[in-house]
Amino acid sequence: MKKLLLLLLIIFGLSGCGPFVPMVKIDSLTEEQRHKIRQFTILNATQLLKKEFSVLTIVEGNSCQNKVWDIPATRAGAIEQLKYHALEAGGDAITNVQCSVREGTSVRTNCWELISCTAEVILFK
């Protein structure tokens, strides 16, 4: 009985907290900001041939299903977060996008599911 009570306290305690990974609520942004995110470019190595650019920074994007009733974590959601952070950094595009496999429930991240992606933010010269 004590174990069940402890488990319930932990579950209810965590349900009130947000994720322990950085995430921006894209839905709360303006329509203009969401449009810029949708239009932000992802380029591959072939598309960058013969173009002059520098790597501005590396960004991380996370898609976390924080609560049982939240939508599942998606690669598209993590990439949307990448684009947001790249825009905030002042980049022109992102490249070298790499995403993790879907992680399951974790106390470390406070997510039922998590997909994390990283990318290089590039600035054209």
19-63 residue pLDDT tens: 999 899 999 999 999 999 999 999 999 999 999 999 999 999 999
Q: Report helix, strand and coil shares of the chain as percent, to nearest 5.
A: 35, 30, 35
Query: Which pLDDT tens digit goes with each residue over 100-115?
Result: 999 998 999 999 999 9
Q: How confident is the model at residue 9 (pLDDT cuts 50, 70, 90)?
A: very low
Cβ atoms of 47 and 93 closer than 8 Å: no
Instruction: Record the pTM.
Output: 0.83
Structure confidence at residue 37 (pLDDT): 97
- Residues for the chain: how many in total? 125
Mean pLDDT of the chain: 91
User: What domains are there in the chain, each with its CATH number?
Assistant: 19-124 (3.30.110.70)
| Residue 69 DSSP SS3 | coil
